[in-house]
Amino acid sequence: MQGSSQTLTDIEVQALIAEALPNDIGITSVTGLSPGASTDAETHDVHFSVSCQCGASFLFGVEVSIDKTAEDMAAVMPTVVRELVNPAVSFQAKTCEEHMMMRMGPTAD
Ligand SMILES: [Zn+2]
């Protein structure tokens, strides 16, 4: 029996994660950040972003070992989802003043 032991492409990994993410958080898949860089990488580097109506956005990602199968992904998915939801939620919990500061980078006191 083979078939369930096939490894995944970046796009498949990203699609699986995107499907598992809760819809109401507003996390968007970001693709094409590192085109061509993943040919001999050891991890799938998938990125997501959240944004606010004030125009601020926050980019974050997760690395998934290149030899993970769809079954492996299903097993670690709760952890992956938590890793992505946490920063998204904390971004959204910030005020737009704080978002503005993030956009401008760290400021001296
Ligand atoms: Zn904002």
Give the pLDDT confidence of 2-55 residue by residue, as tens digits.
455 689 998 999 999 999 999 888 999 998 776 555 556 789 999 999 999 999
Query: How far does residue 17's CA lie from ligand 1's centre (Å)?
Result: 25
pLDDT per position as a tens digit, 40-81: 678 999 999 999 999 999 999 999 999 999 999 999 999 999
Average pLDDT, the chain: 87
Q: What pLDDT score does 102 carry?
A: 82
Residue 78 located in a structural domain: yes
Q: Which pLDDT band holds residue 106 (cuts at 50, 70, 90)?
A: low
Cα of 52 vs centre of ligand 1, distance in Å, is 5
Task: Show the domain range for 46.
Answer: 10-94
Tens-digit pLDDT profile for residues 90-99: 999 999 999 9
Instruction: Look at residue 2 and tell me if it is in a domain.
Output: no
**Is residue 22 one of the residues assigned to a domain?**
yes
Is 101 domain-assigned? no
Domain-embedded: residue 33:
yes
> Is 74 a domain residue?
yes
Which residues crowd ion ligand 1, with CB under 5 Å? 52, 54, 56, 96, 99
76 membership: H or E segment, kind and range: helix 70-93
Q: Does a structural domain hold residue 52?
A: yes
pLDDT of residue 95: 97
> Can you tell me the distance from the alpha carbon of 11 to that of 16, in angstroms, rounded to the nearest whole number?
9
Does residue 1 form part of some domain? no
**97 Cα–ligand 1 center, Å:** 7
73 contacts 19 by C-beta, under 8 angstroms? no
Question: In total, how many domains does the chain have?
Answer: 1
